[in-house]
Each structure stands twice: as structure tokens, then as C-alpha cells.
Amino acid sequence: MHRNAVDILLVEDNPADEELTLIALRKNKIANAIHVVRDGEEALDFLLCRGPFEGRSPLPPPRLILLDIRLPKIDGLEVLRCIKQNPSTRAIPVVMLTSSKQEEDVVKSYEYGVNSFLQKPVDFDRFCEMVRQAGFYWLLVNEPPPPEAFSPVASC
Amino acid sequence: MKSFQGKTITSLELKVIIVYGISISLLMLLGLLEHRTVRRLAANDQWVEHSEDVLDSLDKLLAGDVSEESAHAAYLAEGNPANLASWQYAQEGTDRALRRVRKQTADNPAQIRRIDELQKLIQEHRKRHMGESTQGLGNRLPTGWSTRLAFEHVAQADIQNLILQMFQEERGLLAQRHSAASASARRTVVIASIGSILVLVLLLFAIALIHRDFTGRRRAEAGLHRERDLLRALMDNVPDMIYFKNAKRQFTRINRGEEMKLGLDSPEEAIGKTQADFLTPRQASLIAAEEERILKNGEAILANVEPIQFADGQTRWLSVTKIPLKDNSGAITGLVSIARDISRLKEAEEALEKSKEELEARIEERTSMLSRSNEMLKSEIEERRSAEAALVASEEKYRLLFESNPNPMWVYDAESLRFIAVNDAAVQRYGFSKEEFLNMTILEIRPEEDREAVARAAHEASGPGARVGEWRHTKKDGNVIDVEVVTRPVIFNGKNGRLVLANDVTARKQAEAVIRTLNQTLEQRVLERTAQLEAANKELEAFSYSVSHDLRAPLRQVAGFAKLLLEDCSEQLDEKAQHYFQRVIEATDRMSLLTDHLLRLSRVTRQELAKKPTDLNAVLHSAMNDVSDGTGERKIQWEIRSLPVVACDPDLVRQVFTNLLSNALKFTRGRDPAVIQVDHEGEDGQPIIFVKDNGVGFDMKYAARLFTVFQRLHSVEEFEGTGVGLATVDRIIRKHGGEVWAESQPGKGTVFYFTLGPGVVQKREKA
């Protein structure tokens, strides 16, 4: 595996939530390379290798993106739309991981091409279980897209 | 020509008969004449013969007398008795001759007289003789004989003289008769000659007549020949179909037309045959029946129109005339038929008939239309008339009504728009005097800007009814008032006018204006309130979003870290700390539940109703599936009755059942068995549905708070819950226009009733 390789890109503005998510991942032994970004803009900069991430190799792309909806700067749904519109990123599986179960958000997410939509339960045990199942499925069960599925990086 | 005992006799024949008749009569007359002449001649001969017989008898008488005389003389002389006998014999001969003469001359009185005289003479003579004989007998010559002889001679001469006279008489008669007979014969010869000549002349005349007739006949025959040829040409060239038939109905002659009808190659083919040989059996039998009648009754058929099927299969309409033919004796010997093809005519006739019928139908239709409109017109006229009559009758009343009406009234000319009459109220209200009014048009009491519209409206208005309009009028002082104007067409003094009643509605108008302003304000306020409500709704939405997202995040973090403390740092925490953290976790769980339920409630509030006919049984069963999880070992007795089909939103009603059933399950915990009953009352379509349990129940004094959010009648320790479920039920039922209520007794159980449409509860309460 490449030195810079990232398995999971976690987009989460709240440090408490970030910590709880990381704990849940760790507890489930999904302690692979996890990169955390704090807002939508940073997430897109990272994925498209621009701004602070200029020079970062777009390949290999993250194997999973965990995306919150309420994000500073660029909203999570907008980030999703850009990812799924960009040929260099659209093959990456994106899972919405959010407190909201607002029907409107669910509908929009699927409209933009989300791969999965998960609502974080208040109960921590159930949250851990959910994180375990998602990580297990997307990182182990699911066949990841081959490198040919990604075209060179283009602007959003 | 002249009919005579059924025969026809020409004038010629009559003439000849007359001539012959005359001739025969003449001949018979001649015959009769000759016969009479002959008979007369024969009679003459008889008379001549008779005369000669008489003469002969006279001769014998004379002879007898002489012989008697001589016999007497001899007797006297000789006295010989033999002489006496011969005397007597002579006497008998004389008597016989005398009788004979008398008989023969019975028709001649002169001769009879003579005979009588003669007889007397003879008798006297004989008497004398008798006397002499008795005296002188035996005396041959008595004395005085000579004298007696002389006397004797004189007597004898008288007798003979008388006989001679008779002779002369008879001879004269004979000569007379001879001359008469010869004269008659001469006459007869003359008449016979003349008659013969006359007969001869007559016969010659008859012969001349007959000869002339023969000549005429020969000429007529030639003419007849010519006519026959003409007839033949005519027959063969007319388009009509002509045939002659004998008494057996066989054709004796047909023309070219008939030949075509029968479909023959030559007219001779038909001779001796009947239609049966050429036409269809049906057609032939019809014709046969018809012709049998003609032949039997001798009645002609004249221009009888009938359809005839031709040999070529076509059916044509023919005008058929059939006339029986008779011989001189009047017996029917056959018939002649003349038929004319009138198919074209018939078609034309039928077309004409049809168009006539159509025309008649149309005329009828038009007539009924006309009569209808006539009726209408009549009734209209009647109405008009009665209206006019009523008008005249009440004119006076109306004038009074007009003059003393408290509302301004006037009449204006429909053409010039000039005032024709105004009432006192108008003068009073508008400030113009009557004279001023009558010099103005109605436009002059209008504001300048209205005048065009008024003029237009005044000219357009021509209907019979009254019109109501709202206008503005200008008074003499310049004030403008609002008026409600009723205009009605009237005939006023023979002019087309309009009667106007003006009602000052300025005050009302002003009030209306105020109301309008108020209304507008109200509308504005409604709009504002609506906007406020909409904003509140938006806020509510934002709030529920926050609840679901922003509030849940810290809640989750609290719960998460508390859990992590308990799991990962349990060694550093004493029992009390662990218990507190446990409480924190429980609190977060409960708060999570509350937010979930609140969200559901808000979603119900915002959700649009999707009503459709719904089988409540299916909805109930799906709700039972939702709630039966986790009932586990509990003994539950479900008493479910069949529910009706009701118009409602199935998703929301399912939530109602879910909440009510989970409530029932919750509050029957500990009951063995728990009895939960679902049923309905009332009609299908809008029933009252109820859910009944044998649970803990509640005090009815809290019933009013039952459906308020977060209101709970039991402690969380007793029965878990957020107090949102029944509030949600209430919202859903209200959205449907129905109502929900509960009846309960603590310890006995609770019944929740609900309806899914308006009006049901009131009805029930009334009942």
C-alpha cells in the first residue's frame, strides 16, 4: 500500500462526533488510514488535490468517504454533488453519516448519487454496531472500483 | 243504320223490302181481283144457266099445260078412263113444272107473283074441267061443247100468255146478266194489265237499287282492303303492344310490340298459343284469369294499369285495354288487347307522389309551425291587449302614483332624451323647476364624464322590461348624488318614452364605501396573518429540523461519552459515579425518544391528507403487526370485529390504530388475559370506531388533558411513554374532520372512540 494512501476520508466538523466515530471505528478494528477534514471546502480540496493539498497524488483515491450533511463553508449535499459529478471522484463510494433523517436530505442524497445513507443513533452501542457493519461492508465485502474507473483530476 | 230485332238492316235493304212488299201486295191484289172476276163470271154463268133452266121449266110447264088440255079433251071426247089417267098424269107434270119454276124463281118477286097468278088460273081451269067430266061422262060430246070449247081456248090463251110473259122476263134477265158478266171481264183485264205493269216497274226499280248497292259494296270492299293495310301498318308501327285472341284465348294476331314483349322472332310464332307458352306461370295465370272474365262477361278493361313481367325478366308498368270481340249475333268470339308501356310515366308519377308527400309533410310541418306561432302571437296579442286595457284602466291611478310619489320620477323622450314630465319629488330634490326640467335633456343632470355612457345606454335600451342601473345625478346646486334608477319603456302622449324612478342612494353608497374599505383592510389583515402563520410554519419546520439534527448531535455525544466512561473507565469510577452515568444514559435515551415522537407529530401536522376509500380491516391488521412485537409471553385476547370501508388517509389512520393499540397493550400489562376489542357503531361510510381494553383505566376528570402533548396520566416508572402518542392521534383525527374521545373507569379499562368524518358525533348526541 502506498505511503500516502487513505482508506477512509471522514468529513466531520464536530470534534466530539469525530472522536466518537474514530472510537467506534477503532473499537471495530477498522483502524486503517483515516483522514479527517473539517468542512466541505477542505474535503473537496483534498479529493481534487488543490489548495493545501496541491501536489497530493489523486491516486489511489480513498476507498470510502463518510460525509456529514451539516458542514461549514460547503454543505455536505453540495460536496456530494461535486464528488459524483467529477469523473475523477465519482467512483468513490460515499456514505452519508448524519444525525438527520429529514426526508428532504435523504431524497437529495440519492438524487446526487449517494451510495448509502446512515442516521447516527443516539445510543452509542447501536452507533458502534452501525459503524462496524458499514466499515465491514464497504472495506471488505464490497469490490472496490478499479483504477481505470478514475479519470485524471478535473476541476469541479 | 237502324237496329231491328237485333239485326242491322241497311237503308237499301229496307228500300228493297219495301219495294218487294209493295209488289207482292199488288200481285196479291191483282190475284184477288181476278179471282173475284172469275167467281163473278162463274156466278153469271150460273145465273144464265138458271135462267135457261127457268126457261126450260117454263117450256115444260107450257108443254104440260098443253098435254093436260089435250088429255082432258080426249077424256071428254072419248070418255075413255085411260084418257082420264093421262089427264091426271099431265096435271101432275104441270104441277111439277110449276113447283120447279116457283123454286127457281124464288128470288124474283115479279115471277113469283106471276106464278101465283098462273097457279090460280090453272086451278080454275082444272075445276071447270072436273065439272064437265062428271056431267058429260058417257056422253061423247055433251051438248054445248062447241061453246065450251071456245071458252076453253080463251082460258088456255091466258095461261100461255102468262107463261110467255114469264119467258120474256127470264130472257130479259138472261140478257142483262150476259152483258154484266162481259163488262166485268173487260174491267178485270184492264186492272190486271195495269197491276202487272206497275209490278214490273217496281221490280225494275228494285233491281236498279240492288245494282247500285252492289257497286257501292265493291267500292266499300276496296276501301276496306285499304283500311286493313293501313291498320296492319299501324299495328306494326305503334309502340303499343297489341294482340287479338280467339275465344280459347289463343293468339290470332299480334303486333311487333307484343312480339317484343313475348320475346319472339316473328309474330307468326304466337299464333294459336297463349301467354302461358311465353311468360312466367304466375304472370300467365293472372292474364288468363283476367281474360277469362272478359270472355265470360264481355266487360272491357279500359286503361288498367298493372305490372307485367316481360320475357326478358324486366317488369314494366303497362296501361292495358282489353275489349271483347263479338260477332253479329253478339256472341263473344275473342278479344283484343292494347297495352302501353307507362313505366316512365309510372316512375315519374311515383316520384311526383313521393315529392308530393314530402311537400305535404313539409306543408303540414310548416302549417303546424305557423299555427303554433299563430297561437303564440294570438296569446301575445291577447296579453298585450289586456295589458293595454289594464293600463288604460289604471292610467289615472298611475298618474296619481307618479305625481305624488316621494321618489323623484320623470318621463323622457326616448329619441331626444328630453324630459316630458317630472313629478314634484324630482323638482324638490334636484332644485330645478318643472319648466327648467322640461327644457332639459336627461344628459344635463349628469356629471360631464358620465354623459356619453348615459346617451349610449339610453339608446341601447329597447327591451320591454324594466332596467335597473346605478348612476350619478347632478343637482341644480352642483352636488352630485348617487342614484339607483329604474327605467321602463312607456308610451307617453303617443311618444316613445322612458319612465324613470330615481332613488337617492348616496348615503347607502357612502356606507358601502366604508364597508369596502373595511373589507380591504380585513383582507389585508388576513393576508398579513396568513403570512405570519406561514412564517410560523417555516419556523416550526426549522425547529423540527433542529430537533432532529442539531439537538440530536449533542445528545448523542453526551450518550456516547457517558457510555465510553462506563465501558472504558469503569475502574476509575466508583459505584455511585457509575450509577449517575447510567442515569445520564437513560436521560439521553428518553430525550431521543421524545425528539423522535415530536418529529412524528410535527410531520403529521404538516402532512397533506391523502383520502381514499380504505378497508379499515387491512389498516388495523397492519397496525397490529407493528405493535405485537415484544408482547412476548403475554396472554392477549383480541376481539376484532369486521370494520367498514371509509374514506380516509390509510397511512395516518394506521398511526391512529398503532398508537391506540400500543396504549391498550401498555395499560393492560399485568391483566391475564388482556382483552382488547376493536369494533364500530353506526352506519357504514361514517361509523364510530372504538378500541376497548380491560386495562388500568383513568379518572375521567383528567380526560380533558388526555390529548395534550407531553401530558401523561401515569408515571414513567409505571408506564413508559412520552405523552405524544394520543396528541398525534388527536391531530390525525382532527385533520380528517372527525373527533376522538375516551371513556374510562380506573381499574376497569378504557374505550377510545373516534370518527373519520364531520357531523357524526353531533348526530350521535342528538340520538
Q: Is the pLDDT of residue B449 over 70?
A: yes
Q: Which of A110-124, B36-50, B635-649, B688-702 has the least mean pLDDT?
A: B36-50
Element at B749 (helix H, strand E) = strand B749-755
Q: Give the DSSP per-residue string, B513-566.
A: HHHHHHHHHHHHHHHHHHHHHHHHHHHHHHHHHIIIIIIHHHHHHHHHHHHHHH
Answer yes or no: do B560 and A124 touch at CB < 8 A: yes
Which of the four pLDDT bands, split at 50, 70 and 90, describes residue A111? very high
Answer yes or no: do B556 and A20 touch at CB < 8 A: yes
> Which residues of chain A does B548 touch, with a Cβ-Cβ cutoff of 8 Å?
99-102
Q: Is the pLDDT of residue A121 over 60?
A: yes
Q: Is the pLDDT of residue B471 over 50?
A: yes
Q: Is the pLDDT of residue A156 over 60?
A: no
Q: Is the pLDDT of residue B1 over 50?
A: no
Distance CA B641, CA B667 (A): 21
The reply to whether omega before B673 is within 30° of 0 (cis) is yes
> Which residues of chain A does B592 touch, with a Cβ-Cβ cutoff of 8 Å?
121-123
The beta-carbon neighbor of A125 closest among B557, B563, B591 is B563
Answer yes or no: do B556 and A101 touch at CB < 8 A: no
Q: If you average pLDDT over residues B717-725, what whole number do you get?
A: 78
Three-class secondary structure of residue B83 per DSSP:
helix
Which of the four pLDDT bands, split at 50, 70 and 90, describes residue A81? very high
Q: Give the DSSP per-residue string, B659-714.
A: HHHHHHHHHTTT-SSEEEEEEEES-SSSPEEEEEE-S----GGGGGGTTSTT--SS
Q: Is the pLDDT of residue B685 over 70?
A: no
Kindly report, residue by residue over B69-119, the tens digit of the pLDDT.
777 777 777 767 777 777 778 788 778 878 887 887 777 788 788 888 888
The strand pairing partners of A9, in sequence order, are: A35, A65
Give the B window 500-559 contacts with A, CB below 8 Å. Answer: 545, 548-550, 552-557, 559
User: What is the per-residue pLDDT for A45?
Assistant: 92
Q: If you average pLDDT over residues A35-56, what whole number do you get?
A: 90
Q: If you average pLDDT over residues B533-542, what whole number do you get?
A: 78
Distance from CA of B593 to the nearest CA of A (A): 10
User: What is the per-residue pLDDT for B152?
Assistant: 61
The beta-carbon neighbor of B559 closest among A69, A100, A123 is A123
Q: Which of B324-328, B363-367, B403-407, B546-550 has the least mean pLDDT?
A: B546-550
> Which residues of chain B does A69 touch, with a Cβ-Cβ cutoff of 8 Å?
549
User: What is the per-residue pLDDT for B540?
Assistant: 75
Provide the phi-psi class of B284: left if phi over 0, else alpha when psi is between -120 and 50, else beta.
alpha
Distance CA B240, CA B226 (A): 22
The C-alpha cell at B260 is 317484343
Q: For residue B643, give the nearest of B659, B621, B665, B627 by alpha carbon.
A: B621
User: What is the per-residue pLDDT for B5?
Assistant: 44
Q: If you average pLDDT over residues B600-615, what whole number do you get?
A: 82
Closest chain A residue to B563, measured at CA = A124
Highest averaged pLDDT of the listed ranges A74-88, B5-19, B210-224, B290-304: A74-88
Question: How large a percentage of chain B has pLDDT more than 70?
Answer: 92
Distance CA B166, CA B110 (A): 9
Answer yes or no: do A102 and B559 touch at CB < 8 A: no
DSSP β-ladder status, B674-681 and B636-640? parallel
Interface test with A, best of B545, B556, B569, B606 (most A CBs within 10 A): B556
Q: Which of A76-85, B117-126, B411-420 has the least mean pLDDT?
A: B117-126
Q: Which of B68-77, B118-127, B649-658 has the least mean pLDDT?
A: B68-77
Overall size of chain B counted in residues: 767
Count other C-beta atoms under 10 Å from residue B366's C-beta: 10
The beta-carbon neighbor of B588 closest among A17, A122, A125 is A122
What residues of chain A have any CB closer than 8 angstroms to a CB in chain B? 14, 16-17, 20, 23, 69-70, 98-102, 120-125, 127
Which of the four pLDDT bands, split at 50, 70 and 90, describes residue B554? confident
Q: Is the pLDDT of residue A34 over 70?
A: yes
User: What is the per-residue pLDDT for B332?
Assistant: 87
Interface test with A, best of B557, B561, B568, B590 (most A CBs within 10 A): B557
> Which residues of chain A does B557 touch, with a Cβ-Cβ cutoff of 8 Å?
14, 16-17, 20
Mean pLDDT, all residues of chain B: 82
User: What is the per-residue pLDDT for A128?
Assistant: 92
The beta-carbon neighbor of B553 closest among A23, A99, A101 is A99
Closest chain B residue to A127, measured at CA = B560
Distance from CA of A50 to the nearest CA of B (A): 31
Answer yes or no: do A102 and B564 touch at CB < 8 A: no
pTM over 0.90: no
Question: How large a percentage of chain B has pLDDT more than 90?
Answer: 6
Answer yes or no: do A99 and B560 touch at CB < 8 A: no
Answer yes or no: do B549 and A125 touch at CB < 8 A: no
Answer yes or no: do A17 and B553 touch at CB < 8 A: yes
> Which residues of chain B does A120 touch, with a Cβ-Cβ cutoff of 8 Å?
552, 556
The beta-carbon neighbor of B555 closest among A14, A23, A122 is A122
Q: Where are the domains of chain A?
A: 8-139
Answer yes or no: do A127 and B550 touch at CB < 8 A: no
User: What is the per-residue pLDDT for B654?
Assistant: 92
Q: Say whether residue B472 is in contact with chain A using an 8 A CB cutoff.
A: no
**Backbone phi, then psi, for B468, in 5-degree steps?**
-115, 135
Which of the four pLDDT bands, split at 50, 70 and 90, describes residue B539? confident
> Which residues of chain A does B561 touch, with a Cβ-Cβ cutoff of 8 Å?
16, 20
User: What is the per-residue pLDDT for A4?
Assistant: 58
Answer yes or no: do A16 and B555 touch at CB < 8 A: no
User: What is the per-residue pLDDT for B298?
Assistant: 83
Which of the four pLDDT bands, split at 50, 70 and 90, describes residue B9? low
- Straight-line distance from the first to the last Cα atom of chain B, in angstroms, rounded to the nearest whole number: 119
Q: If you average pLDDT over residues A51-64, what whole number do you get?
A: 86
* Cα B641 from chain centre: 71
The beta-carbon neighbor of B564 closest among A99, A123, A124 is A124
The beta-carbon neighbor of A122 closest among B549, B550, B592 is B592
Q: Is the pLDDT of residue B588 over 80?
A: yes
* Cα B523 from chain centre: 73
Q: Which of B299-303, B308-312, B319-323 has the least mean pLDDT?
A: B308-312
Which of the four pLDDT bands, split at 50, 70 and 90, describes residue B4? very low
Interface test with B, best of A20, A124, A126 (most B CBs within 10 A): A124
The C-alpha cell at B46 is 150460273
Tell me which fold the domain A8-139 belongs to: Rossmann fold (3.40.50)
Q: Is the pLDDT of residue A118 over 50?
A: yes
Q: Is the pLDDT of residue B752 over 90?
A: yes
Give the B window 326-385 contacts with A, CB below 8 Å. Answer: none
Kindly report, residue by residue over B46-55, the tens digit of the pLDDT.
777 777 777 7
Distance CA B42, CA B184 (A): 11
User: What is the per-residue pLDDT for B205?
Assistant: 87
Q: If you average pLDDT over residues B506-533, what whole number do you get?
A: 87
Distance CA B5, CA B651 (A): 124
Kindly report, residue by residue over B139-152, the tens digit of the pLDDT.
444 445 555 555 56
Q: Is the pLDDT of residue B675 over 70?
A: yes
Q: What are the distances in angstroms from CA B719 to CA B499, B539, B673, B693?
A: 85, 33, 18, 15
Contact by Cβ (8 Å): B714, B702: no
Instruction: Indicate the DSSP class of residue A153.
Output: P
DSSP β-ladder status, B749-755 and B688-693? antiparallel
Contact by Cβ (8 Å): B446, B472: yes
Which of the four pLDDT bands, split at 50, 70 and 90, describes residue B6? very low
User: What is the per-residue pLDDT for B754?
Assistant: 92
**Backbone phi, then psi, for B324, in 5-degree steps?**
-70, 145
